[in-house]
Amino acid sequence: MFTVFVFLAVRLLGVTSSTVPLNSDVYTDPRCQGNIKNLWLDIMVVVDKSQLMTNAQLWQVRNTISQVFGAVSTFGPTKYPADPRSTCVGLVTYDGNATVNAQYDTSKSFNDFYNVIQGSLVSVDSTNSSYLSRGTGTSLDPVPTANRLKNNGVIVITVACTSDKNAISKIQSLASPGYSFVDEMNTSQLVKQLTNALLSANCFCPQESVQYKDDYFNETSTKYGICVTGYTATGGSYGYPHAMEWCDYEIKNSYLVSEFSQNKHEFVKNYMLDKFKYMKPTAYYIGLHYVDNQWFNPNGYSNWAPGYPQSNSTGQVIASQAWTNGSLNYVWAPPQVFDFLLVCQVQSSSTEYYTTYSEQESPF
Ligand SMILES: *[C@@H]1O[C@H](CO)[C@@H](O)[C@H](O)[C@H]1NC(C)=O
Ligand SMILES: *[C@@H]1O[C@H](CO)[C@@H](O)[C@H](O)[C@H]1NC(C)=O
Ligand SMILES: *[C@@H]1O[C@H](CO)[C@@H](O)[C@H](O)[C@H]1NC(C)=O
Ligand SMILES: *[C@@H]1O[C@H](CO)[C@@H](O)[C@H](O)[C@H]1NC(C)=O
Ligand SMILES: *[C@@H]1O[C@H](CO)[C@@H](O)[C@H](O)[C@H]1NC(C)=O
Ligand SMILES: *[C@@H]1O[C@H](CO)[C@@H](O)[C@H](O)[C@H]1NC(C)=O
């Protein structure tokens, strides 16, 4: 097998301030987009060189990673504060023991990295046991290590070079959800899968946010380039103007969440009920507001409580637990007296949208 550890930037976001953007390309929630050319991640590639691999599989690994990283335009450490968007790649191989062939900053260019892999991934060695496969239940067990990395925001991508179902599911358990692959000895397919995985890893949110995806409860459902964060504003009845400022104060460029579809509404609801379950939320501010004598909902989606909007309810809106019946069905309504919860959104980082970056401490 081989594993790719992706270390993300510290999650801070940009500078200028705005409320609800009024240009049309923000009326939909964009998918995570990316271009491998502009990738900016720190990556550690970890490759099994024991006889659990064949030479052909090792060459496949070599070809695949040289194609994937050969497509990245800025490779190796760059001098801050020059454009810091670059990808650094290190290589570890293991058999009975692990060998660090190159640290992150060893390769100053793709050519350097290419030489590292040409020199390190030539043939499998004579060891027939592997560090990872020996580990289960011992201090070498890779599962806790992978969990620790994942809990620290590292994305673990695995590629199982085997058709053994048991081994595949063990290897899968090391990966971040949606980031495990099986090598079918088809280089172009694997290059595509890894490229997409890296682009997806580069599309991330500030640490305190969740990334909007098709289904809140499904880790592998389609991700969007939108980050959602719920807050409880304590200390007084602040109202809507304060809620708007609150978003931008917490995360620059963040604004009260847009609900332009039922799907987004459901996501926000499930997220808020989950995050604030200890306080059983009954309402939270969202971004719907009244401009130019009409409600601002360009996609025509609406979710008003029965009888709303009334001609006098021209202020801001909350999503409120329906009082018409006892079900947990949140509908739009004008704010009640005490509304402390609010939900903000901000654009995620991506290969095409750079936000403040500083390297995370390498655990190797
Ligand atoms: C790992 O390396 C240590 C020290 O070099 C050695 O004693 C040990 O036998 C090696 N283990 C395997 C499985 O190769
Ligand atoms: C691995 O190597 C050891 C010692 O060389 C040998 O006894 C064992 O049968 C080998 N196991 C496999 C699965 O090839
Ligand atoms: C390899 O995968 C690609 C899809 O990425 C597919 O079009 C092609 O037919 C596959 N080749 C083989 C030999 O299976
Ligand atoms: C989660 O989403 C993925 C991608 O849409 C889908 O393939 C998978 O079946 C979903 N899982 C569940 C449990 O719904
Ligand atoms: C808004 O109008 C409704 C009737 O249309 C009325 O019952 C309600 O009291 C009014 N609310 C305010 C804040 O004026
Ligand atoms: C509760 O009210 C909502 C909105 O009016 C409606 O969609 C839903 O079906 C109702 N649920 C029940 C159990 O009556």
Question: 177 with 288, same domain?
Answer: no
pLDDT at 351 over 60: yes
What's the pLDDT band for 293 if we cut at 50, 70, 90?
confident
Question: 41 with 149, same domain?
Answer: yes
Looking at the domain assignment, is residue 97 inside a domain?
A: yes
The token duo for 175 is: 């990966």
What's the pLDDT band for 359 if we cut at 50, 70, 90?
very low
Looking at the domain assignment, is residue 299 inside a domain?
A: yes
Rounded to an integer, what distance in angstroms lies between the CA atom of residue 181 and that of residue 160? 6
pLDDT at 153 over 90: no
CA of 329 to the centre of ligand 6 (A): 7
Question: 184 with 56, same domain?
Answer: yes
Residue after which a domain boundary falls, among 168, 201, 234: 201
pTM over 0.95: no
Question: 138 with 224, same domain?
Answer: no
Nearest CA to ligand 4 atom 13: 218
Looking at the domain assignment, is residue 354 inside a domain?
A: no
Quickly tell me which residue has 């989950």 as its tokens: 274
Looking at the domain assignment, is residue 353 inside a domain?
A: no
Q: Residue 329 has what pLDDT?
A: 76
CA distance between the termini of the chain: 19
Nearest of 7, 9, 34 to residue 357 by alpha carbon: 9
Which atom of ligand 6 is the closest one to the Cα of 324? 2
Does any ligand 6 atom lie closer than 6 A to the CB of residue 325? Answer: yes
Rounded to an integer, what distance in angstroms lies between the CA atom of residue 216 and that of residue 294? 31
Question: 141 with 234, same domain?
Answer: no
Strands (E), the chain: 2-7, 42-48, 88-94, 98-102, 155-160, 180-182, 210-213, 223-232, 255-256, 283-285, 290-291, 294-295, 318-321, 330-333, 341-347
Does any ligand 1 atom lie closer than 6 A to the CB of residue 298? Answer: no
Rounded to an integer, what distance in angstroms lies between the CA atom of residue 52 and that of residue 34? 35
Does any ligand 4 atom lie closer than 6 A to the CB of residue 18? Answer: no
Find the largest Cα–Cα distance for the chain: 80
CA of 139 to the centre of ligand 4 (A): 34
Quickly tell me which residue has 């990283």 as its tokens: 69
Looking at the domain assignment, is residue 258 inside a domain?
A: yes
Q: Residue 132 has what pLDDT?
A: 65
Nearest of 313, 347, 358, 324 to residue 40 by alpha carbon: 358
Question: 84 with 182, same domain?
Answer: yes
Question: Which among 308, 311, 312, 314 is the best mutation to test ligand 5's pocket, defined by most ligand atoms within 8 Å of the CB?
Answer: 312
Nearest ligand by distance to the CA of 126: 2
Does an H or E element contain 115, and which? Answer: helix 110-120
Question: 24 with 133, same domain?
Answer: yes
| Mean pLDDT (whole number) for 122-133 | 80
Looking at the domain assignment, is residue 242 inside a domain?
A: yes
Which atom of ligand 5 is the closest one to the Cα of 313? 1
Please provide the DSSP assignment of 243-304 as one string. Answer: HHHHHHHHSTT-EEPP--SHHHHHHHHHHHHHHTGGG---EEE-S--EETTEE--TT----B
Q: What is the mean pLDDT of the chain?
A: 81
Question: 256 with 131, same domain?
Answer: no
pLDDT digits (tens, 9 = 90+) for 56-89: 999 999 999 999 999 999 998 876 666 778 899 9
Rounded to an integer, what distance in angstroms lies between the CA atom of residue 225 and that of residue 32? 5
Question: 149 with 119, same domain?
Answer: yes
Question: 194 with 127, same domain?
Answer: yes
CA of 94 to the centre of ligand 3 (A): 29
**Residue 42: phi, psi to the nearest 5?**
-100, 130
Which atom of ligand 3 is the closest one to the Cα of 186? 1
pLDDT at 4 over 70: no
Which atom of ligand 1 is the closest one to the Cα of 97? 1
Residue 222 DSSP class: P
Q: Residue 231 has what pLDDT?
A: 93
Cβ–Cβ < 8 Å for 350, 32: yes
324 lies in which domain range? 210-347
Question: 129 with 252, same domain?
Answer: no
Looking at the domain assignment, is residue 357 inside a domain?
A: no
CA of 189 to the centre of ligand 3 (A): 6
Residue after which a domain boundary falls, among 148, 179, 201: 201
Residue after which a domain boundary falls, among 152, 174, 201: 201
Which atom of ligand 1 is the closest one to the Cα of 127? 14
pLDDT at 295 over 90: no
| Domain count across the chain | 2
Looking at the domain assignment, is residue 352 inside a domain?
A: no
CA of 141 to the centre of ligand 1 (A): 16
Question: Which among 321, 324, 331, 332 is the best mutation to test ligand 6's pocket, defined by most ligand atoms within 8 Å of the CB?
Answer: 324
CA of 305 to the centre of ligand 6 (A): 10
Question: 100 with 162, same domain?
Answer: yes
CATH number of the domain within which 215 lies: 3.10.100.10
CATH number of the domain within which 127 lies: 3.40.50.410
